[in-house]
Amino acid sequence: MPSADLEGRLFIDGEFREAKSGKRYDILNPATDQVVAQAADAGPEDVDDAVTAARRAFDDTDWGTDHKFRRHCLEQFQAAMREEAAEFSDILTAESGVPKGIHSTHVDFMIDGMDFWNELTTSFEWERELGPNTVLGMVSDRTVRYQPYGVVGAITPWNAPFMTAIWKVTHAMSTGNTVVLKSAPDTPLTAAKMAQIAAEKTDIPAGVFNTLSSADKGIVGDAMTADPRIDLFHFTGSPGVGQRIMERAANGIRKVVLELGGKSANIILPDADLDQACGMATMMCMTSSGQGCALGTRAIVHADVYDDVVARLQAIIGMIPWGDPTDPGTIVGPIIRQEQLVRMEGLVARAREAGARILVGGERGEVNGKANWYKPTLIVDVAPDAEIAQTEVFGPVLSVIRYEGDDDEAVRIANNTRYGLSSYIQSSDEDRARRVANKLRAGTVNIGASFYLGADSPFGGWGISGLGVEHGIEGFREYLQVKTISTPGK
C-alpha cells in the first residue's frame, strides 16, 4: 500500500503548498472506506495562482520553442516515473480501486508510450516550406509553422487517473504548452505524485506543470473555464460536464478537446468464432470493473447464434473474480462511491421492469462488511431503445441485444445511440468485418482479438462522445496552432 506520507498538496509555480483557505479533505479507499491521505481543497484564488504561474512560464521563457530542452525534461520525467511505477500502482488502487491485475495497461504501458511523444518533440516538422506561389502579381514563398497554444487547462476523471493524467500532461508539455492539471475530487494523489517527480527529478521549469485538487466537482473547474488566460481545455469525463466546458470556453473562442464516454457496441456476426467472440465480449466489458469509457457494453448478437452466445456469456460472467483490488486475480474491483452504486442499481432495476432478464449478478457484492462492489452482471433480451442500451452505466454490466436481419441491421442498432466512442466486431471474415467497420459511427473500431490502444493511434469520439482526439500525430496537433508566413519570392 502507499506510504503514509503521500503528497496531497497543490503544486503551483514549482512549489508544493496548501490551499489558501487552509482546507483539506479526505481521500477514501473505495474498497475499505479508510482514509488513504488528505488533499488540499483548492478554491478560485488557487486557480488564479496556478494559471498565473503557467502563463508566466509560457510567455516569459523559451519552453515553447526549445524543443531539445523539452525532450530532455520529458525523458527525465519518463525515467523517473518508470522508477516509481510500483508506487503509482499502489496509489492507483488505493484512491480509485483499479484492480492490480490490469496495472500493466494503466501504468507501465502508458509510461512506455511516452517514447512516442518524446521523439515527436524534436522530430515533428515544426515548419515546412510550401514553395513559391504567384498571386496579385506577386511571387511569394510560404512557410507553415506550428506553435503551442499557451496554457492548457487539463481536467481528468476518477476511473483512470494515471492514464488520463499522463496523456494530458505529456501531450501538453511535449508540444510546448504549459499545463494546469485538475484531478477528479476522488483521485488527486496520482497527479500530486507526478508533480513530486517533476519537482525532484527533472529540470522542468517552475510554472510549466501545476496541479490542483478540490473536494467540490465544479468550483475549481468553473474558475478555470472562466479564466481567459487558459487557451485550450482538454477534458475527459461526462457529456454534461463537457458541454458546460465547451459553452464556457466559447467566451473568448478558446479551443476544447473533449473525450466524453460511450455506449460502445460489440457486434457478434453469425459467422463469428464464438469462443473468441464471447471471451472478447466479456473481457472488453468487465475489465477495469466496467469503469472504462471505450468498453463494449452492448453486445449485438445475431439470432442464429443468440442462444449459444447467451449461454456462453452466462457461464463466463458467472465465474469472473471480483473483490479485493490488490489481488492480482481480481477483474472487478470496487465502485468509486455510493452514488455510482445507487445509480447502477436503478438502471438495472428499470431494465428488469422493462422486460429484460438478469441472468448473472444484478446486485451489490460485499467484502469484509463493505458493500462497495457491483457484481459482474449480464442482462439479456434488451431492446435497442431501452434505457440500459442507451445510457452509459460505467460499471460491470453487459447488455445483450438480439437482431435477426443482415449486417446493415446490426449496424443500424449499433449506430442507434448518441455516443460514438468505440465499437467491436466479431466475425471470421475480416473483409466482412471491415465493411461493417466502415459504416459504424465511432472513433475507434476493434475487429476480433484486437484493440486500438497505442501512443501512435488517434483516439476520439463521434457524437456526444467528444471532440478532437488524443494520441498519434493527430493528437499532437490538437495542442498546436497553425501559422502561415509569406515572404517575397526569391
Catalytic residue IDs: 259
Describe the chain by its helix, strand, coil percentages, rounded to 5.
40, 25, 35
Give the max Cα distance, the chain.
82
Question: What is the torsional sign of CA 114, 118, 121, 122?
Answer: negative
Spatial CA neighbour of 269 closest among 431, 114, 416 = 431
Ramachandran category for residue 462: left, alpha or beta (phi over 0 → left; psi -120 to 50 → alpha): beta
227, 150 Cβ separation under 8 angstroms: no
**Beta bridge mates, 37:** 27
401, 410 Cβ separation under 8 angstroms: no
265, 486 Cβ separation under 8 angstroms: no
Q: What angle do CA 307, 309, 312 make, to 5 degrees?
A: 110
CA 298 to centroid of chain Cα atoms: 20
Contacts of 172 (CB under 8 A, 6+ apart): 152, 154, 178, 179, 234, 479
Give the Cβ contact number of residue 387 at 10 Å.
Answer: 16
Is residue 234 within a helix (H) or strand (E), and if so which, with residue range? strand 232-236
CA distance 45 to 43: 5
229 DSSP assignment: T
Give the Cβ contact number of residue 408 at 10 Å.
Answer: 11
AA letter at 313? L
**Beta bridge mates, 57:** none
Backbone φ and ψ for 482, nearest 5 degrees, come out as -110, 135
The residue count of the chain comes to: 490
Give, in order, the Cα–Cα distances in Å from 31 to each of 123, 241, 326, 367, 372.
44, 27, 10, 8, 6
Backbone φ and ψ for 240, nearest 5 degrees, come out as -60, -45
CA distance 446 to 105: 17
Location of C-alpha cell 439470432:
303
CA distance 420 to 443: 6
CA distance 371 to 289: 15
